[in-house]
Amino acid sequence: MKQVSKLLLLVLICLTACSTPPQQPVVSSPDGSIRVEVGAEDGRLFYTVNKNDKVILDKSFLGFVLKDSDFDKNLDITNIKTTSFEETWDQVWGEETSVVNKYNQLAVDVAEKDGLKRKFTVVFRVFDDGVGFRYEFPEQENLKDFVIMDELTEFALADSHKSWSIPAYHTEYYEGLYRTIPVNELDTVCTPLTMETKDGMYLTIHEANLTDYAAMNLLPKNKTSVLKADLTPWSTGEKVYMNAPGVTPWRTIIIAATPGDLMLSRLMLNLNEPCKITDTSWIKPGRYIGIWWGMHMEKYTWYQGPKHGATTENTKRYIDFAAEHGFSGVLVEGWNDGWQNDWTKEGDKFSFTKPYSDFDIEEITKYAAMKNVKLVGHHETGGSTLNYERQLDSAFAFYQKYGVDAVKTGYVSPLLDGKERHSSQYGVRHYRKVIETAAKYHVMIDNHEPVMPTGLQRTWPNLMTQEGVRGQEYDAWSRDGGNPPEHTTIIPFTRGLAGPIDFTPGTFNFTNPVYPNTRVQTTLAKQLALSVVIYSPLQMASDMIENYENNPAFEFITSCPANWSKTVVPDAKIGEYVTIARKDRNSENWYVGSITNADSRKLTLPLSFLDKGAKYKARIFKDGEGVEYKSNPYPVAIEEMNVTSDTVIDLNLATSGGTAIILTKQ
């Protein structure tokens, strides 16, 4: 009898502990301003997000459709666990040296109430600047290898906010102009999706640590402000092949008071894993030039012939120029066998170890080494990842042999291997393989036609920069006339939130013999300022070297670093203007870039970010007298003044103009 009652008591204790969660599934940010709540309603799991008691996300449902069944119904919360974390970690390179990673975490275990009793956990990390969450599938009997047909994650926005985005399936390689549309009117869009609320808050939805999964797009449900995840499919319609144990990427929401705070959020990086490369001494940010604009302006060809750009002689000329002006590298495209074919369709004919006969790589790299300049390699695949993967090790070993430690990769073709989308799980797997193989050979990567970046550079800091943007090349050949003036005042707050951009600013000659109606739609001073505004640890000055000769404004390009210890955003309005100040990682000097859209603008710049009490010399490169981007874009006035942290500089930006400033500590 005694034993029976003991047993009963035990069962009772167990039931209480097992069936009722010990606390409420609620978690707040370390500063208490952001609150995430999780619940189950009719067997469906949901979460909400509030900031200072204002709804950011209303009841937003979670779950999946798997190939053989739904996985979003009949769910029960079985356990919850809250923890806290705080660390400061250093970036190998970046917009600042140290990053604070501080969050409170809520892990919610859920399981099907009956049937297969499959389970997953949703882990929320709440930072002072937003929220990240992901699904984790633990090892279990009834869920081993499975296929995700749909991810049902919702973001139920409180209102149909104004938003900036590009459409997902109609924009090749993310090379589109950002549209400003209320969220309920969006079609399927790529992330980052940036929004401004009526009460002046800024939100960005994106993802972090995209590993062996499909990229997430978003689409509004039935024209409402409830956004639903849309994973890029395989050609067969499946979304993701998954195993348990396994995790999804983090879904991220930055919540900011100003556009500048969106840019300064490091939530995405914090949600990636720490660096996996032990010796990072070979990873070096830098500024490079290239045998590149000449191809886009049709002065040179990629393929061997009378106008071949990648000749030994021409490359040496670029190396001389790089050495003279302190550039760390020279990119050379069109150096290898394969360009003579219809290469966007016949990428499988590229060789990555066979230089054209007029490109003597041995002589070139010896010459470059003598001049302390590196050849920046190029692997255009024409979208044939199969051909590239077959050659991957030999391709990187070949470059390593010649001391080439940075390679620009490219995937120009609407589909990879004629079949799969760049942002599918297929593409994601390939890009990761390239990054990891390159690391083995101590090669840095600049990836063009990528999948949208998600902060992997924290783990693999040899992933320096990526395209995935409508870059400066559109000013060479885009039939719509080139990038409109507002473009670069939007991308720092959209694509830029996904990571460094290889936009390649710095064109000095705006004439276009091939497409006279297409040109750089900025002033020259704005081209300078873009080196600061658009962040990239490998930053290319786009123009042909002859266009830089004897131009005093070139001084700004050659002295502007590509690695920073601190970044501040004194002033910005998305689509109108941006002012950014960055402190050099290797000196006490600051660099400022300020740009405007098609409207001329007067702004003030308080230098309060400078060290108090210290003296600086400001060297200012600004739009000259009477400058206007269409008719008179070139004059740059260069001025000097002594300043301190109390100085306020007046900025006078011409139409699509800019100002670039070097602040040298005295």
Which phi and psi (to 5°) does residue 74 adopt?
60, 30
Least CB distance from residue 72 to ligand NOJ, whole Å?
40
Q: Which of 244, 246, 248, 243 is nearest to 231 (CA)?
A: 248
CB 588 within 8 A of CB 629: no
Does 506 sit near ligand NOJ (CB under 6 A)? no
CB 192 within 8 A of CB 225: no
Site size toward ligand NOJ (CB under 6 A) is 8
Indicate the residue type of 656.
S
Least CB distance from residue 535 to ligand NOJ, whole Å?
18
**What is the distance between the alpha carbons of residues 590 and 153, in angstroms, rounded to a whole number?**
42
Does 448 sit near ligand NOJ (CB under 6 A)? yes
**What is the distance between the alpha carbons of residues 647 and 617, in angstroms, rounded to a whole number?**
11
User: Strand pairing partners for 28?
Assistant: 35
- CB nearer to ligand NOJ: pick between 35 and 421: 421
Question: For the CA atoms of the chain, what is the radius of gyration?
Answer: 26
Does 446 sit near ligand NOJ (CB under 6 A)? no
- CB nearer to ligand NOJ: pick between 412 and 603: 412
**What is the distance between the alpha carbons of residues 138 and 124, in angstroms, rounded to a whole number?**
16
Three-state secondary structure of 114-126:
CCCCCEEEEEEEE
Per-residue b/e over 253-292, b at no fewer than 16 CB within 10 Å?
bbbbeebbbbbebbbbbbbbeebebeeeeebbbbbbbbbb
Binding positions for ligand NOJ, 121-180, rule CB under 6 A: none
The token pair that represents 255 in the structure block: 């919540």
**What is the distance between the alpha carbons of residues 454 and 439, in angstroms, rounded to a whole number?**
18
Q: Which of 495, 467, 483 is nearest to 597 (CA)?
A: 483
- CB nearer to ligand NOJ: pick between 66 and 434: 434
Q: Which of 317, 137, 154 is nearest to 228 (CA)?
A: 154
Catalytic residue among 151, 207, 473, 486: 473
Give the list of residues 6+ apart from residue 82 with CB closer than 8 angstroms, or none.
Answer: 23, 27, 104, 105, 106, 107
Active site residue 96: no
**What is the distance between the alpha carbons of residues 374 and 319, in angstroms, rounded to a whole number?**
8
- CB nearer to ligand NOJ: pick between 124 and 288: 288
- CB nearer to ligand NOJ: pick between 336 and 454: 336
Does 543 sit near ligand NOJ (CB under 6 A)? no
Q: Is 353 exposed, middle or buried (0-12, 13-18, 19+ CB in 10 A)?
A: middle
- CB nearer to ligand NOJ: pick between 471 and 492: 471
**What is the distance between the alpha carbons of residues 132 and 107, in angstroms, rounded to a whole number?**
12
Least CB distance from residue 122 to ligand NOJ, whole Å?
38
**What is the distance between the alpha carbons of residues 334 and 346, in angstroms, rounded to a whole number?**
15
Interaction mask 379-398, ligand NOJ, x per CB under 6 A: -x------------------
- CB nearer to ligand NOJ: pick between 448 and 519: 448
Least CB distance from residue 408 to ligand NOJ, whole Å?
7
Indicate the residue type of 26.
V
**Which one of residues 294, 410, 496, 593 is an interface residue with ligand NOJ (CB under 6 A)?**
410
Least CB distance from residue 573 to ligand NOJ, whole Å?
29
- CB nearer to ligand NOJ: pick between 72 and 467: 467
- CB nearer to ligand NOJ: pick between 338 and 633: 338
Does 584 sit near ligand NOJ (CB under 6 A)? no
Binding positions for ligand NOJ, 271-330, rule CB under 6 A: 292
Does 467 sit near ligand NOJ (CB under 6 A)? yes
Least CB distance from residue 315 to ligand NOJ, whole Å?
16
Does 412 sit near ligand NOJ (CB under 6 A)? yes
Least CB distance from residue 467 to ligand NOJ, whole Å?
5
Taking each continuous run of H as one helix and of E as one strand, the counts in the chain are 12, 37
Which strand (E) or helix (H) includes residue 88?
strand 75-90
Least CB distance from residue 479 to ligand NOJ, whole Å?
16
70 C-beta neighbours (distance < 10 Å), count: 13
- CB nearer to ligand NOJ: pick between 333 and 486: 333
Q: Is the dihedral of CA 424, 237, 241, 57 positive or negative?
A: positive
**What is the distance between the alpha carbons of residues 380 and 450, in angstroms, rounded to a whole number?**
12
- CB nearer to ligand NOJ: pick between 151 and 473: 473
**Which one of residues 473, 475, 543, 584 is an interface residue with ligand NOJ (CB under 6 A)?**
473
Three-state secondary structure of 153-199:
CEEEECCCCEEEECECCCCHHHCCCCEEEEHHHCCCEECCEEEECCC
- CB nearer to ligand NOJ: pick between 343 and 554: 343
**What is the distance between the alpha carbons of residues 139 and 247, in angstroms, rounded to a whole number?**
11
Three-state secondary structure of 240-291:
EEEECCEECCEEEEEEECCHHHHHHCCHHHHCCCCCCCCCCCCCCCEEEEEE
Tell how strand 601-606 and strand 564-573 pair up. unpaired
CB 473 within 8 A of CB 514: no
Contact positions vs ligand NOJ (CB under 6 A): 292, 333, 380, 410, 412, 448, 467, 473
What residues are annotated to the active site?
Answer: 473
